[in-house]
Chain A
Amino acid sequence: MEPAVRRYFTRKILTYMLAFFVGVTIDWAIPHMMPGDPVQLYLSNFNLKPAGYAALYKTMSQAFGTNLPLWEQYLHYWKGLLTGNWGVSFWDFPARVSTLIFQALPYTLALLVPAIVLSYIVGNRLGAAAARRKMLDNTVLPMGYVFQAIPYPWLALALPFLFGVVWHVFPIAGGYDRGLIPAFSWTFISSLLYHWFLPFLSVFLVALGGWAIGMRNLVIYELENDSSRYLRALGASERVVRRYAYRSASLPQLSGLALALGIVVGGSIVTEYAFSYPGLGHLIFVAISNQDYFLLQGIFIFIIIGVLVANFIIDIVYVTVDPRTRLSMQGGSS
């Protein structure tokens, strides 16, 4: 590795570690700033007499560590985080936070990753094809705007209304049939897919327009670039010019993809709320309404790691794909 590139990565890793520290601290602080007392909320589930309440309140506070001063809670939090002990949930009391998260995570990933990646691929191809081609542009462009302009909640109402309530083709809510117990069997998996389709379609459609239009504009920009003119002057075919334009235009799109994938964990709240889908977004909603500090913190860690890893991958891609970034690094002026 060249020294400039090595220096670049050392600097990157340092700032990412710092960002991780600050992010973890903020995500610890936010739930603790919520007004109210989680232990009190938890005990309100039981019909207790005042004396019993006081005794139980003391025991539970000690068990959860909420009676400690804040700085001590903060240190405990870091210790638990690094040793892999993420604590116990208030809401689903004896269940461990890690168990709850790993139960919900597959649903969210299976729903959002295919939807985002597919919409990225299809959208970019459509947009690039439409650029500077009158016929395609006049169909792809207006469609793209409409899809980009649809408010997601509306799609999450209109699709189930059409496919579920009016035509009875797909179920309108849930992650699988209520009568089934999660198992690795064909009935369960087919029920999963059946319930997966509408939420998947809604996320796919709502993201499609943005990618297509972004790509179309970027490719037009690139096609008018000096590099494209030079290629044409050299006698390259339009297909080759377009391929190079597509490659240069992919960069800003890629950073968009990284951001979209990075926040996948936290970005699904509206989808899972609308479709009552049992993923992490749903869990966040439950955790907030039950003031479940430990569950919230556990989910936030996933969001932090997701964003940082995605950004780091993009940094690597920028250096390896775009020679101009490398050049600017070696230029010394920056």
Chain B
Amino acid sequence: MSTMSEPKGRGAPLPASQRATSEAAPEATGKTQRAGRHHDLLYYALHNKKLVFGVSLEALLVLAAIFGPVIALHNMTDYFASNQPPSAQHWLGTDNLGHDLFAEVVNGMRVSYLVGAIGALCAAFVGMALGFTAGWRGGMLDEILQMITNIVVMIPALVLLIVIGAYLKTRGIMFEGTFIGLTTWPWVARAVRAQTFTLKSREFVDLARLSGKRGFSIVVREIAPNMASYLFLVVVLLFGSSMLLAANFDFLGLGPTTGTSLGNIMNQSTLWSALQLHYWWWFLPPGLLLTGMVAALLIANVGLDEVFNPKLREQ
């Protein structure tokens, strides 16, 4: 859960123009300026409705994932009367085996958060490394990296998951997260590469090149900060999309075998014809919660984007 990004504390890099002015300032005034800027950011953060709403909703859901299993009346593995609609005793009803669905759902939220975080970190790391390299260096190296990207896209992830899974005794949460990360980085790489390509021909990059900076430091200090909000958007999007992709895998019955995720619950509900039998409490709540988990993340992200990037603030 600690990997779950609480966007406020993270502090995305600022656009190069702002940073340059604060760095150029003399040491003594620099400190007060910096403190003032943090104060400004906090002001904008607290007054940005999207950020406040998104972070509050996400915090609420994270709290539900952490404390839900504690306040649940029943254990996930206990048996009761099966297929009961929601009641005071079972807040979200029970499934076909008589398990309490509230207990299952809050445990499923934990699993989904974990898988999403692991997947996002893996994909962001690989995608950005390859995207920057391909976009900045260009030429033959770009061709080779693009070829690798295309090959990864062509590999049918689902089939690969089944093949690898067949050799493992159990499929864990760690495995699913890493697998998602290592198969979803291509779109990050492509997007970062395209952005780098267009930024590369701008004047400030030429200037940096003229001043004799090395390629790596130009990418890190000139190009990356100019797409910082975009990169941050990418990481948050990845976090959400990994959770959604995991739900897809779980729905097909390829999810973790060592725990119950939200997708697992939906998979079980289809296997036992909950749809045709009108057991709506079995498949509607897990998907709704997952929608909330991902939507809160996206809304907070746009709010954060506006806080850090003055250009985006509503005028």
Residue numbers of A with Cβ under 8 A of B are 11-12, 15-16, 18-19, 22-23, 26-27, 30-31, 33-35, 134, 141-142, 145-146, 148-155, 157-158, 160-161, 164-165, 172, 213, 217, 220, 224, 251-252, 255-256, 259, 262-263, 266, 269-270, 273-274, 284, 288, 296, 300, 303-304, 307-308, 311, 322, 324-325, 327-328, 331, 333-334
Assuming the contacts A270-B248, A288-B162, asked whether A154 and B270 have C-beta atoms less than 8 A apart, the reply is no
Flag if B153 contacts A307 (CB, 8 Å).
yes
For B257, the chain A residues whose CB sits under 8 A away are none
Interface size of B by Cβ–Cβ distance < 8 Å?
A: 69
Number of A-B residue pairs having CB atoms within 8 Å of each other in the complex: 184
Cβ contact within 8 Å between B294 and A149 = yes
Partner of A15, one of B146, B286, B292: B146
Give the docked Cα–Cα distance between A262 and B302 (Å): 29
Known contacts being A224-B311, A288-B159, is A263 close to B153, with CB within 8 Å? yes
> Nearest A residue to B282 by beta-carbon distance?
A157
How far, in whole Å, are A262 and B186 apart by their CA atoms in the complex?
13
Given contacts A11-B143, A30-B156, A165-B275, contact A217 B248 (CB under 8 A): no
User: Would you give 9 A-B contacts (Cβ < 8 Å), ordered by A?
Assistant: A146-B295, A148-B295, A154-B286, A165-B275, A252-B194, A252-B195, A284-B158, A311-B150, A322-B198
> Which A residues touch B167, using CB under 8 A?
35
Which B residues are in CB contact (< 8 Å) with A288?
159, 162
Query: Which single residue of chain A is at the shortest CB-CB distance from B277?
Result: A165
Chain A residue with Cβ nearest B274: A157
Q: With A11-B143, A151-B263, A303-B156 given, is the CB distance from A158 to B284 under 8 Å? A: yes
Q: How far is the CA of A300 from the CA of B191 in the complex (A)?
A: 25
Q: Is the CB of B201 within 8 A of A308?
A: no
| Chain A residues whose CB sits within 8 angstroms of the CB of B186 once the complex forms | 259
- CB of B138 within 8 A of CB of A328, answer yes
Contact with A along B266-290 (1 / 0, CB 8 A): 1101100001101010011011101
Complex contacts, B299 vs chain A, CB 8 Å: 142, 145
Contact of A259 with B155 at beta-carbon distance under 8 Å, contacts A33-B163, A149-B294 already known: no
Q: Is the CB of A334 within 8 A of B139?
A: yes
Q: Check A35–B166 contact: CB distance below 8 A.
A: yes
On chain B, the residues within 8 Å of A262 by CB distance are 153
Chain A contacts of B125 at CB under 8 A? none
